[in-house]
Structure 1
Amino acid sequence: MSSTSLEVNVPSFEPLVRRYGPPPLKPSPHPRWLESMLESTRADWNAACWPPLFRDTAEGRRPPLGYWRRVLSQFFLIVESFPKYMGLSLAKTTYGRHEGDASIRRWLLQNLGVEAKHAEWFIDWVRAIGMEPDSLFSVRPLPEIQALHAHLRDTCARGTLAEGIAASNWAIEGITGVWTKEVVEPFRGYASDGARIDASAMMWLKAHARYDDLHPVEALEILKLSVDSESTEPARVAAAARKSLRLYSAAIRACCAD
């Protein structure tokens, strides 16, 4: 009986090539124009972070739940529209044509993915404090809410990429990360006032308290990559952010007016 040799085909492996991807946005030293913007907007930032409703809730004083119902029902327009503001900013990005533009594009797309469930989580929160979605959807926004919405929409649509990012992702996301972090646990005290406090009711608050301290830092990196410091753009970017903060404060005051 003849023997047959067995040939074993051993596959050859090509060296593994790392897939291409733009670098992430990482904190870096602030240029002088950005330090100036942060300093010039500090008072407006603090006022937007801590209107009486947020401060009193954070300190355990529990303002009447009716104030929270008014704020949440009015601000649904801003929450529901936030991915739309970001989509307008995304439309301004390219891929590889300018320094950092691919990283900015990826950041916006990832942030949009995070935003996907936020309107639903917000509705869960509103239902937990005694409002049904149908009544939420039919709310007529106050003029102050409409003004904030128009500023964010128009700045993201017609301003530069940096102006839109400063107005929405730095200013609005930034202050939201500050107050939610302090309010999330004390808000559970509203269970004694009839609010339903469970995992679904707290999801929006918990999510923003968890990651909105990172997004504004990354938004500042976008500003550094996209702003021409030798032009008039730094002043326009600061003005867009400042207007967001002031309109936000005015909207909260209007919601809580007796």
Structure 2
Amino acid sequence: MSPEFKRQGALKDPASYPAWLQQVLHETSDARKLIVGHQIFAGMRDATLNAREFSAFFVNGWPVVEQFPQYMAMNLLKARFGRSEGEDMARRYLTRNIRVEQNHAEYWVDWAAVHDVSKDKLLQADGPPAAFALSHWCWTGGSMDQLASSMAATNYAIEGVTGDWATLVCSTPSYEESFPPPIRKKAMRWLKLHAHYDDAHPWEALDIIATLLGSKPEKKSVDDVRNSILTSFSYFKASLDCCL
């Protein structure tokens, strides 16, 4: 059994986490940068995406946004009260955030609507299979994988990188100012909720992962966490590529 881990340093300082997890963050950083640096988000920031690209972005991303509370609910089923500190942390985190994610689905629908993408079009999910690989992966992980690797795939990788790209899009006023003033608040609500440099949720997930696995977990457990993060980033990029 791996020695227990209890974080002593700041939540958002990578040095506060075990050496194995710091190495995982390093080994997945390039894949994360490919998402944030994707031309879809640069075009969104600069208000240069065309209508077809925006439509594909909303349709391709909708299954993950809509299902995210369900991924968390499946992980909640894996966390038994009192069995370990990590599982207790996961129960509190997941219970608190599931309802928040449901609201985000509604805001995504509002955001898509200002680009003339209807809720019916989102629900039809008309796109290439690669566009929806990310949602299939998250569902499979949520239903079958261990709690640590499944949370790494969703609450750390996807939620974390989404904060990064949303912050990038909001880093200049170009996109927001492309909307008439009366609809700007509605158009930007989803983005602004996610565009926070200080968002704690992905770091809280990282803390849970470290607490679940301890300071020196088995190699397989480390590999599972690393591969889950990399797979999420890979499928995320594939979905974005399908928008072009």
Pick the TM interval, shorter chain: 0.7 to 0.9
Q: Which has the higher helix share?
A: 2
Question: Counterpart in 2 of 1:247?
Answer: 235
- 1:211 Cα deviation (Å)? 7.7
Equivalent position to 1:42, from 7, 23, 29 = 29
Q: Distance in 1 between matches of 2:197 and 2:33?
A: 19
- 1:62 Cα deviation (Å)? 1.9
Q: Does 1:32 align with 2:29?
A: no
1:11-62: CA deviations, max 9, x gaps? xxxxxxxxxxxxxxx727111110110111011010012210102333x252
Number of residue pairs aligned between Structure 1 and Structure 2: 229
Q: Does 1:111 align with 2:100?
A: no
- 1:209 Cα deviation (Å)? 1.2
Question: Counterpart in 2 of 1:9?
Answer: none
Question: RMSD value over aligned CA atoms?
Answer: 2.1
Q: Does 1:186 align with 2:185?
A: no
Question: Counterpart in 1 of 2:225?
Answer: 237
Q: Distance in 2 between matches of 1:238 and 1:217?
A: 16
Structure 1 residues 80-119: aligned runs within 5 Å: 80-119=66-105
Q: Distance in 2 between matches of 1:33 and 1:196?
A: 49
TM-score scaled by length of structure 1: 0.82
Aligned in 2, Cα 1:246/1:212: closer, same or farther, shift over 3 Å? farther
Aligned residues of 1:174 and 1:212 also touching (Cα < 8 A): no
- Amino acid in structure 1 at the alignment position of 2:93: W
Aligned residues of 2:66 and 2:102 also touching (Cα < 8 A): no
- 1:142 Cα deviation (Å)? 2.3
Higher Cα radius of gyration: 1
Q: Distance in 2 between matches of 1:211 and 1:120?
A: 23
Q: Distance in 2 between matches of 1:74 and 1:100?
A: 33
SS of residue in 1 equivalent to 2:85: coil
Question: Counterpart in 2 of 1:172?
Answer: 158
Q: Does 1:57 align with 2:35?
A: no
Q: Does 1:133 align with 2:155?
A: no
Identity level (%): 30
After TM superposition, the runs of 4+ consecutive aligned structure 1 residues lying more than 3 A away are: none
- Amino acid in structure 2 at the alignment position of 1:164: S
Question: Counterpart in 1 of 2:148?
Answer: 162
Aligned residues of 1:173 and 1:212 also touching (Cα < 8 A): no
- Amino acid in structure 1 at the alignment position of 2:230: R
Q: Does 1:151 align with 2:137?
A: yes
